Structure 1
Amino acid sequence: MGQPLLHHLQKVSALGIIIAALLPSMASAKAVQLHSPDRQIHIQLTDDNNQAHYQVNFDGKTVINPSKLGMVFKQLGRIDQQLQIVDVTTHSNDSTWEQPWGERQFVRDHYNAMTVKLKHNELVFNVEFKAFNDGIGFRYHFPKQAALAQYTTLDIIEELTEFSLPDAHQSQAWWIPGRGWNRYEYLYQHTPVSKVDRAHTPFTAKLSSGVHISIHEAALTDYAAMVLDQRRDGTFRADLTPWSDGIRVKTKPGFTTPWRTIQIADAATGLLNSDLILNLNEPNQLGDVSWVQPGKYIGIWWGMHINENTWGSGPKHGATTSETKRYMDFAAQYDFDGVLVEGWNIGWDGSWFHNGDVFSFTQSYDDFDLLKVTEYGLKQGVRLVGHHETSGSVTNYRNQMQDAYDLYQQHGVTQIKTGYVADGGDIKRVDENGVVHHEWHDGQFMVNEYLYSIQQAAKRGISINTHEPIKDTGLRRTYPNWIAREGARGQEFNAWGTPPNNPSHTAILPYTRMLSGPMDFTPGIFNLAPEGLDAVNRVQTTLTKQLALYVVLYSPIQMAADLPRNYVERLDAFQFIQDVPTDWQQSIAISGEIGEHVVFVRQNRANNDWYLGALTNETPRSVDVKLDFLDSAKKYQAQIYRDGDKAHWLTEPYDYVIETKAVTAIDTITLKMAASGGTAIRFKAL
């Protein structure tokens, strides 16, 4: 087979897409190579020693050392030895697609690709690579074939994919533990790569060469999520989250894995400007999605976290008809789209946290009238944002899901926040025989369960904002009604987290969690220390850093999370929250370092206004920002919300200044940020 393959590889090379050849030192080994369109990224796949290894270079620097590929099946055993490259096909693409909503309206999808056929005895499988200018993706495909004809099912015991990082003791990583009890809700650790144990993705590192990378996955469907398990120093294996019976993935011949992704950039901001994850997902499958509406909401939510209200019934019950109407009045007055109401349905009394079977998703408490509040909201131009907490009892939720979604549809509810509060590994599944099993949030069972809710909601014109979710892998492109997720430590930890989110937390999130997609962080707390500045649990930011979060932490739905009365006390600062949109024409990260600071600018999709959000960790800093992103033919009024001279998150969090100045695209503006401070600017086109 050597001559036909060599002829094919030479033909491919002539196309200028792939360079591939027989390794000269060993006639039996083959290597195929792929470059990104700008030729900065280089991938090589070899079958040296009858094993498949890939390697990735960027700008002449190694970012992934030779790393193993392979699988272990219950039925087939290990598929990582006796491997031979037997064929390669190639293609390239340069197109642009439009997001119905997003951080940018138009996304360029530009890559070179190769599909390599590998043979193991009589079994063949494919590894498909795509090389973009901002990183790579690769995935496995095991087609139906004679060698698998006797198998109706295939059980994956282990995926052997490796990511071997160079210079593990000198390279730096930002990570949270994988497969822990608190799901994804941890403060990030900053350590040498060699000190990482088992980490969730996105997993971000700055290599000793100065190259920044983030390892993640895209298009996670009908498969287990991947965490990274460090074996030898710097060598991480794709550790698939198991079912309760220990099987990693239950599948059948003809399956395709999610994409394994590596975003690559010479600067930290390059990671923020990447579209790799979205581009590796399938296009919109829902058709017309004009009913998916970005916007801003308030909610009966924060009061429960600071113990001013309760989710359960009683004298402090938050989710009452009268309280919802009061919030709707506030929303209408200040131009918010919706009001989230948590705790309206039967089940919140008692030990709901440990017993999700108590929830009804169609029965409300006596003091909450769904019809009255939705009719009232309709008159006010404010929608009710629905809420379903499962407490991890997903079988109970699935049994009621269609009736619950039908009920909301009948009352004009078009967005639902869902919750899966349960310790990691404690999702309750009841099988067809009534046997209870406990699964992980990111195992194959729950991957499919989350997606089922999205598909059922879409049939009814409903969007879903998932809390305690499976991590985002870009499926919002395929299912645009998956409008937001949580999936990290959010604002509520500042109410009771002990410790709360530290000053660097939101300076790390853009480079880690946010690389996967939108987050419902719930920013905008104005009463930063309800129990006093010396309290342990409080918001460790200045007030203007809370404003900056609306630009820095992208979500198409943003919450003004605080109590209405706290906004009334500071209407001057609240104006920015009223003005800032949630749907963007384009977004650009223009300055930043992981865990230190970030500066984002975004252009309103509806007009020529731009918005800037900048924030820093506990270190005060000044950053000069060129305004060359503005339209050179226009003049702008910069409406600036910044830290005052005495501002400090610990002692003077409310010291802020609001000022305006005329600017154009040739100007430079200096951002002066206090300790855990920030700046928010609206550039209003004149």
Structure 2
Amino acid sequence: MKHFLFSALLSIAIFNFAKAQQLKSPNGNFAMDFTLLSDGSPSYSLNYKNKAIVKPSKLGLELKNDKKSLLNDFTIVDTKTATFDENWKPVWGEVAAIRNHYNELAVTLNQKETDRKVIIRFRMFNDGLGFRYEFPSQKNLTYFVIKEERTQFAMTGDHTAFWIPGDYDTQEYDYTKSKLSEIRGLSEKATTDNVSQRSFSPTGVQTSLMLKTADGIYINLHEAALINYSCMHLNLDDKNMVFESWLTPDARGDKGYMQAPHHSPWRTIIVSDNATEILASKMTLNLNDPNKIEDTSWIKPVKYIGVWWEMITGKSSWAYTDDFPTVQLGVSDFSKAKPNGKHAANNDKVKTYIDFAAKHGFDAVLVEGWNEGWEDWFGHSKDYVFDFVTPYPDFDVKGIEAYAKSKGVKMMMHHETSGSVRNYERHIDKAYQFMKDNGYDAVKSGYVGDIMPRGENHYSQWIVNHYQYAIEKAAEYKIMVNAHEAVRPTGIARTYPNLIGNESARGTEYQAFGGNKPNHVTVLPFTRLVGGPMDYTPGIFEMDMSKLNPDNKSHVNSTIANQLALYVTMYSPLQMAADLPENYDRFLDAFQFIKDVAIDWSDSKYLEAEPGEYVTVARKAKGTNNWFLGNVNGETPRTSTLKFDFLEKGKKYVATIYADAKDAHYKTNSQAYTIKKMNVTSKSKLEQLSAAGGGFAISIIEVK
């Protein structure tokens, strides 16, 4: 069902040009006021339940090498309002259907001196506001270069923020919780080492930014539908508590090459007095275009395993040999090289993973390090690193595919670009065709290291366009994409649902590099996951990395129960059981939850949440009457009081509860857990302990 109502208002006849235009949400809880200031600068403010959320804030863009920027001297020449209401069905998701309901105000501005027109389009949902700049076709604004976007978000106070440093190349940071006024003093400490990074300001932060006011209002600032534009960061004026947009520059320092007609991404403000409603919001998805892939039958959620973790921990290697001081593809002869004895992507080892996947019902096996070039793939500003089709001598592509097929298991391809996007685009058609020829339906792509061409950033307009090109090209070949180190998602998976996963945040791999904060997974749903699902790679059961590699002294800051719960709390249609098969064999009773848990859902209920402290979610498996529930907890042990009123009335269920033992602790007793069963109905209640860095997971199966 779709409803769209337009109303054109003739501003010259009806409105004083500077008079505020107001837009309310369908439920009336939000009100946005738009006005022109005395110098013709556009400005907006936002209220929620009669409380100020965003104080009057300027809008506009500063242009490069132009006689006048798009900042002021505007008059209102037209306004249009609309109401839109529809229900749409995602190919995969947290729910079977999503309501897209908003009121819209489109304000057409004319700049008197230049006779240029800009439309600012606002959409008000019941969960917040989205707005963007639109540049219609016109003779006085054709090609232009953005020096900086000057969108402001003026805060009403010194809010608590959950933030990571502003960076053009990585989001792989632990989150810092602080007052806005404390960001400057904490910025250096919050900026930890990464293989490619470029911070831009001591008060710069990245979106999705989670805030909480002193009176308990939750605010999320982000963007939606990042297409052909630079990724937006936020820079804080900490004297006045005003955020201003800060776009990622290219190698020349320019922040956007535009050709009208064109538009910016949506700037989003999600607001609630209940933290669970931030998690349940679908506004980011709703601000993206509908699905553009006609036949989606080949797009399927995937639960997988792979050899990745033993390489991440240092137990094994990506490289095949230690013989070559450098590698040149087509010149270096790997058939004559001596194997180093640590290469994980070999036929025998991969077959053991295939056997394990088949035995336990996993869909696929991912193999990294299968292709020539890993000996000197990183840190050399090297353009031609991989060709994405030539395997090492110990990896038989055809033989492995046939073996996997005989076991009913799919193989997942790995394409590491080493940041050389130019090289990837040279080879991408051949690489995707090679995948299809050998039975691969999904690819994990990587962009580790500095971007090539040299001087470009991971989040600049040109590189953002590359990521989009790879997704759309993959769709032509009916390939699903899981992109690592790419720009953080902004809901584009609605339009291209073959984008089944991203990394774009500090994932489980950092548990093997010194650890993540134990509350990290209670922040990510409020920040990184607002734009789309993350390939977080959970399911680690052996927390002591020295048992895999004596030289690795890291410890996973999590309990086993917490690791199980992540399959529910960290929503993704792509879920990996990341640990080694032998570690799962040691804890088969706990491993059962990973085997059972669904990866596609018809309904989701966020039961309780507080950013940085805890998240509890219940989800209904698509096509069944079964539910799965997960809770992840931060530093402080706590007890959840749960109601099962989300269950169907009159039905009976068996709940299997995987929980922290009483003495469990993420650091000192991380493998202590209990498993118990109980009969439940929609009237049942449960009190359940979560340890420090712990949690619990519950499978709730209908009794037939």
**Other structure's SS at 1:184 match:** coil
Contact 2:168 2:459 in 1 (8 A): no
**Other structure's SS at 2:455 match:** strand
- Match of residue 216, structure 1, among 218, 222, 227: 222
Distance 1:671 1:290 in 2: 40
Distance 1:72 1:573 in 2: 56
Match of residue 447 from structure 1: 464
- Match of residue 664, structure 2, among 620, 625, 647: 647
Q: Does 1:304 align with 2:304?
A: no
Contact 1:417 1:465 in 2 (8 A): yes
Q: Does 1:37 align with 2:26?
A: yes
Deviations 1:489-540 (A, max 9, x none): 11111112x3x10111111111111111100000000111132799851111
Match of residue 80 from structure 1: 71
The amino acid that maps onto 1:177 is P
**Other structure's SS at 2:178 match:** strand
Displacement of 1:218 in angstroms is 0.5
Displacement of 1:175 in angstroms is 0.6
Displacement of 1:233 in angstroms is 3.2
Q: Does 1:409 align with 2:433?
A: no
Contact 1:30 1:48 in 2 (8 A): no
Deviations 1:179-235 (A, max 9, x none): 155x00001011112333111100110022321111100010000010001124311
Distance 1:227 1:462 in 2: 31
The amino acid that maps onto 1:642 is A
**Other structure's SS at 2:525 match:** helix
Distance 2:29 2:287 in 1: 19
Q: Does 1:127 align with 2:120?
A: yes
Match of residue 611 from structure 2: 594
Contact 2:168 2:458 in 1 (8 A): no
Instruction: Within 5 Å, give how 1:313-324 maps onto structure 2.
Output: 313=320, 314-324=340-350
Distance 2:599 2:377 in 1: 37
**Other structure's SS at 1:357 match:** coil
**Other structure's SS at 2:630 match:** strand
Match of residue 160 from structure 2: 172
Displacement of 1:32 in angstroms is 0.3
**Other structure's SS at 1:72 match:** strand
Distance 2:412 2:234 in 1: 36
- Match of residue 343, structure 1, among 369, 384, 389: 369
Displacement of 1:38 in angstroms is 0.5
Contact 2:168 2:457 in 1 (8 A): no
Instruction: Within 5 Å, give how 1:320-469 maps onto structure 2.
Output: 320-354=346-380, 355=382, 357-422=384-449, 426-429=450-453, 437-469=454-486
Instruction: Within 5 Å, give how 1:161-240 maps onto structure 2.
Output: 161-168=151-158, 171-179=159-167, 183-196=170-183, 197-231=203-237, 232-240=239-247
Displacement of 1:267 in angstroms is 1.5
Q: Which runs of 5+ in 2 are unaligned?
A: 1-8, 184-202, 321-339
Match of residue 577 from structure 1: 594
Displacement of 1:247 in angstroms is 1.1
Match of residue 614 from structure 1: 631
TM-score between the two structures when normalised by the length of structure 1: 0.93
**Other structure's SS at 2:21 match:** strand
Deviations 1:88-133 (A, max 9, x none): 1011111100001111110000110010111111111100000000
- Match of residue 140, structure 2, among 132, 142, 147: 147
Deviations 1:227-285 (A, max 9, x none): 00112431111101011111100111211110001111111111001000000000010
Displacement of 1:353 in angstroms is 4.4
Alignment CA distance shift 1:319-1:536 (3 Å): closer
Q: Which runs of 5+ in 1 are unaligned?
A: 9-20, 23-27, 430-436
- Match of residue 103, structure 2, among 90, 96, 112: 112
Match of residue 630 from structure 1: 647
Contact 1:193 1:205 in 2 (8 A): no
Contact 2:385 2:417 in 1 (8 A): no
Match of residue 276 from structure 2: 269
Distance 2:10 2:488 in 1: 43
Contact 2:385 2:418 in 1 (8 A): no
Alignment CA distance shift 1:331-1:76 (3 Å): farther
Displacement of 1:296 in angstroms is 0.4
Distance 2:154 2:348 in 1: 58
**Other structure's SS at 2:591 match:** helix
Instruction: Within 5 Å, give how 1:495-644 maps onto structure 2.
Output: 495-496=512-513, 498=514, 500-531=515-546, 537-644=554-661
Contact 2:230 2:461 in 1 (8 A): yes
Match of residue 43 from structure 2: 53
Match of residue 17 from structure 1: none
**Other structure's SS at 2:494 match:** coil
Alignment CA distance shift 1:510-1:610 (3 Å): same
- Match of residue 291, structure 2, among 284, 300, 305: 284
The amino acid that maps onto 2:220 is S
